[in-house]
Amino acid sequence: MISGCCRIWDSLTDPMEPNELYSIRMRASLRGEHISGAERIVSQGQLERTVQELLQRARQKAEKPDHIVVKLDEIRTAELNMLTALDIVTVNVSDVITARSLASRILEKIGVSGIAVERAINALGSGAAAGKNMRGAMIMDARSGERLETDEKRGVRVSRFDWTDAALVTSINSLEDIGLTHHRTREALALATKVAHAPALVAELCWSDDPDYTAGYVASLGTGYVRFPMLKKRNDPYGGRVFFVDRSRVDLAVLYRYFQTEAVLINGIGRCRPALEPADYFA
């Protein structure tokens, strides 16, 4: 969907325009259970249209929400962090067991312990909020696998991140060039980019909770965004996110502030490699 373009870049590059940017957050639920959410940063002139887009998205879900929250917050442009998107590559593995074991291998190589990976995969695969999907992400000690988020039902929600207009167009084109056309990929890449730059962050592991979206990824500053087309079986309703942190360096208050209130605009795409066979990826 390119309808979000021409939002930010013009106002940021035109010195005559007041650079008023807004964070828009949407979350939708049914009988108290999270169904969908979205995060955007847009200029003032795009507020109405974006709110409408997000409402539409919430109501398009197969499960109709009975509660939708849309929040708008002004962002001071002086406080914007500009980041380049992580490099992205897909590792072509078509069965879940192999994909999870290769994802573990990558995570262990960059400092997540075997026990932490196992705990993360078990939690994601069985509903990390006492058998239900979380609205946000787990924060996990990369060594012990202990969960550190302050609310285990809700998790931490990362917001205030988006692509600039120019980078949005480039990302759509560059991802399309390597066969990635789903808006989920672009949105997850943006989120993973903000997350990877968080203080004391070691790595992220994610797969969708949508029963018919099976792809997931491992991401970190060192590895970039490494996708697997099948990190879970089709029709599996469980998914989520785990942020592994270095406990000896982490300050949870600082981390929460970064995730929830520091604004990140992504103004460029990283390296986009076509899909690789596992042997070539690990060569």
Show contacts with ligand WAQ in window 222-241 (CB under 6 A): 227, 239-241
Indicate which of Mg ion, ligand WAQ, none lies near residue 10 (CB less than 5 to 8 Å, by partner kind).
none
175 contributes a contact to ligand WAQ by CB under 6 A:
no
Give me the sheet containing 33-43, strands edge to edge.
33-43, 21-30, 67-75
Region of 16-24, 106-114, 182-190, 265-273 interacting with ligand WAQ (CB under 6 A): 182-190
Closest to 164 in 3D by CA, of 66, 244, 263: 263
The structure tokens listed for 200 are 């004391």
Region of 10-18, 54-62, 139-147, 152-160 interacting with ligand WAQ (CB under 6 A): 152-160
Q: What are phi and psi of 144, to 5 degrees?
A: -90, -20
In the beta sheet, which residues pair with residue 81? 264
| CA–CA dist 245, 268 (Å, integer) | 26
Give me the sheet containing 264-268, strands edge to edge.
81-84, 264-268, 161-163
133 contributes a contact to ligand WAQ by CB under 6 A:
yes
267 contributes a contact to ligand WAQ by CB under 6 A:
no
Q: Which of 65, 125, 216, 224 binds ligand WAQ (CB under 6 A)?
A: 216
The letter for the amino acid at 121 is: I
The distance of closest approach from Cβ of residue 213 to ligand WAQ in the complex, given in angstroms and rounded to an integer, is 6
List all residues 6 or more positions away from 170 whose beta carbon is below 8 Å from its beta carbon. Answer: 268, 269
217 contributes a contact to ligand WAQ by CB under 6 A:
yes
Region of 74-82, 100-108, 155-163, 273-281 interacting with ligand WAQ (CB under 6 A): 155-163
Closest to ligand WAQ by CB, 53 vs 209, is 209
Pairing relationship of beta strands 216-220 and 224-228 according to DSSP bridges: antiparallel
39 contributes a contact to Mg ion by CB under 5 A:
no
The distance of closest approach from Cβ of residue 53 to ligand WAQ in the complex, given in angstroms and rounded to an integer, is 16
Q: Fill in the per-residue mask, 175 to 214: x = in contact with Mg ion (CB under 5 A), - = not in contact.
A: ----------------------------------xx----
The letter for the amino acid at 280 is: D
| CA–CA dist 211, 56 (Å, integer) | 20
The distance of closest approach from Cβ of residue 15 to ligand WAQ in the complex, given in angstroms and rounded to an integer, is 32
CB-count burial class (<10 Å; 0-12, 13-18, 19+) for 236 = middle
Closest to 166 in 3D by CA, of 54, 11, 40: 11
CB 196 within 8 A of CB 221: yes
Q: List residues binding ligand WAQ (CB under 6 A).
A: 37, 39, 133-134, 136-137, 155, 157-159, 182, 184-185, 188, 191, 206, 208-210, 213, 215-217, 227, 239-241
Residues near Mg ion (CB under 5 A): 209-210
